[in-house]
């Protein structure tokens, strides 16, 4: 958002700038799911901090001020989204408790699309009815808004995925190998191999690829070919 990198963690939302981190809000919830809407609104889910009387599952939270304050929107006490994506007014989320993939076009009323053994979800940047999810046997793609899914033929097995532009996808395998597609997932190329298990991944508007590892945050400025450390939170 506005060129600032936000990192949602188990201990709240932080910004990272020049190797320094800053906590955005006193609402240091355990943010398991986080995404930014086209208009800059933040959406999140997870578990509350110990100082609140919120239920164990936060449902869908919304922030219109860059994460400084959060509003309960829907599914409070019911759902813990571990994956979220939002584009063109549509939100998809994966509830870790029930393994349900869910979607909403108003953030209040939700449609269930079935149970999946999945890790991440990405909506096409030019068609909100086209959705990709990552599963243990490989990515599945839907072209009807999540009503049905088919295997994405020829795709590698990946755990994290982002769809920043219509034909451009980036994905990370469980072992940290980076994969990218320039044709909407029809074919894939291999890029860098990271040295640790990936935790989260996003592609910024300027094309930079950010991956959170177990003890560091790394960034690539060359389409995933090479990565450099941006922040390390545990001594090597």
Confidence tier at 51 by pLDDT (50, 70, 90): confident
The percent of residues in the chain predicted with pLDDT above 90, rounded, is 88
Are 146 and 88 in a shared domain? Answer: no
Out of 20-34, 90-104, 119-133, 143-157, least confident range: 20-34
Are 100 and 141 in a shared domain? Answer: no
Write the pLDDT tens digit of every residue in 181-212: 999 999 999 999 998 999 999 999 999 999 99
pLDDT number for residue 234: 58
Are 79 and 125 in a shared domain? Answer: no
Domain count for the chain, please give it: 2
pLDDT number for residue 17: 87
| Residues shown for the chain | 236
Are 125 and 104 in a shared domain? Answer: no
Are 107 and 142 in a shared domain? Answer: no
Q: Which domain holds residue 29?
A: 1-115
Residue 146 to residue 109: CA distance in whole angstroms: 15
- Whole-prediction pTM value? 0.94
Are 186 and 133 in a shared domain? Answer: yes
Pair 200, 194: CB distance under 8 Å: no
Cβ neighbours of residue 235 under 8 Å, at least 6 residues apart?
none
Q: Tell me, what CATH number does 67's domain have?
A: 2.120.10.30
Write the pLDDT tens digit of every residue in 59-118: 999 999 999 999 999 999 999 999 999 999 999 999 999 999 999 999 999 999 999 999
Are 131 and 200 in a shared domain? Answer: yes
Are 201 and 156 in a shared domain? Answer: yes
Are 145 and 231 in a shared domain? Answer: yes
Are 236 and 125 in a shared domain? Answer: yes
Residue 125 to residue 114: CA distance in whole angstroms: 23
Residue 24 pLDDT > 90: yes
Cβ neighbours of residue 175 under 8 Å, at least 6 residues apart?
193, 197
Instruction: Return the closest-CA partner of residue 158 out of 178, 182, 183, 186.
Output: 178
Are 138 and 106 in a shared domain? Answer: no
Are 186 and 106 in a shared domain? Answer: no
What are 200's strand-pairing partners?
Answer: 212
């Amino acid at each position: 958002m506005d060129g600032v990198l936000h990192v949602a963690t188990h201990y709240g939302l932080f910004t990272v700038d020049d190797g320094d981190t800053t906590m955005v809000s006193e609402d240091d919830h355990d943010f398991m799911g986080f995404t930014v809407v086209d208009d800059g609104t933040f959406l999140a889910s997870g578990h509350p901090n110990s100082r609140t009387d919120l239920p164990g599952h936060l449902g869908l939270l919304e922030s219109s001020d860059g994460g400084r304050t959060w509003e309960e929107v829907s599914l409070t006490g019911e759902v813990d989204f571990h994956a979220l994506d939002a584009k063109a007014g549509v939100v998809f989320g994966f509830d870790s408790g029930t393994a349900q993939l869910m979607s909403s076009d108003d953030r209040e009323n939700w449609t269930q699309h079935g149970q999946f053994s999945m890790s991440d979800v990405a909506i096409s940047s030019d068609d909100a009815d086209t959705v990709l999810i990552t599963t243990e046997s490989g990515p599945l793609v839907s072209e009807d808004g999540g009503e049905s899914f088919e295997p994405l033929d020829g795709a590698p097995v990946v755990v994290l995925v982002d769809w920043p532009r219509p034909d451009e996808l980036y994905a990370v395998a469980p072992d940290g190998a980076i994969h990218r597609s320039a044709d909407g997932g029809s074919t894939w190329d291999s890029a860098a191999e990271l040295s640790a298990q990936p935790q989260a991944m996003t592609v910024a508007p300027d094309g930079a690829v950010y991956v959170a590892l177990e003890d560091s945050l790394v960034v690539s400025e060359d389409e995933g070919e090479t990565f450099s450390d941006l922040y390390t939170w545990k001594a090597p």
